[in-house]
Amino acid sequence: MNTPATAAIPSPDPLTGVVADVLDPEIDVTLGDLGVVRSVSRTDGRIVVHLAPTRLSCPARGEIARRVRSALTGAAPGHAIEIVWERGTWQPAAVTAAGHDALRTAGYRVAGTTPRCPYCAGDDVVRAGRFGGAVCKVPYDCRGCGSPFDVIGTAGCSAVLPVPHVRQGGS
């Protein structure tokens, strides 16, 4: 089917895969597998990407936007790119099975279930503090194998914050 160049192309636009393959700057997992890509649309030379950060105050948002713009500029040169950060929409359940595997390999677990050690799969774990290396991580220690690990996507990460949608335009 041919779609006129001026018509909106609904997701899944081929560029959705380009955005989904971008790596998160803090954790070695793709944005698609983390479940933060909401939609990618293309209309009249403009690409609009809706992302749901794991936490609105995530300090990596600027780097994520830079990486998304770089990937899209390479895949669709000449388009204006707008990044829209949605608030309060990301949930740990959005992480794909491949995302869980990648996170486990990197030493992380996703909130929402009983914390288990990503290294030995043991459940004899203890919370090691209130805050981890990023606003979305809570440190744990495994009593079974002695390994530290982080749980991402804890309750504070998906909280709806009293702020409007955040838009970052530009190309």
pLDDT in tens, 130-164: 777 776 788 899 999 999 988 887 554 543 332 23
Is residue 166 a contact partner of residue 88, using CB atoms and an 8 Å limit?
no
Structure tokens given for 133: 């290396």
Are 51 and 85 in contact by the 8 Å Cβ rule? The answer is yes
pLDDT, one tens digit per residue, over 109-137 is 888 778 889 999 999 999 998 777 776 78
Distance of CA 10 to the CA centre of its chain: 21
The reported pTM is 0.74
Of 135, 164, 137, nearest to 148 (Cα)?
A: 137
What class has domain 14-92+159-168?
A: alpha beta
- Which pLDDT does position 32 carry in this prediction? 97
Largest CA distance in the chain: 60
CA-wise closest residue to 98 among 85, 110, 87: 110
Domain residue extents for the chain: 14-92+159-168, 96-157
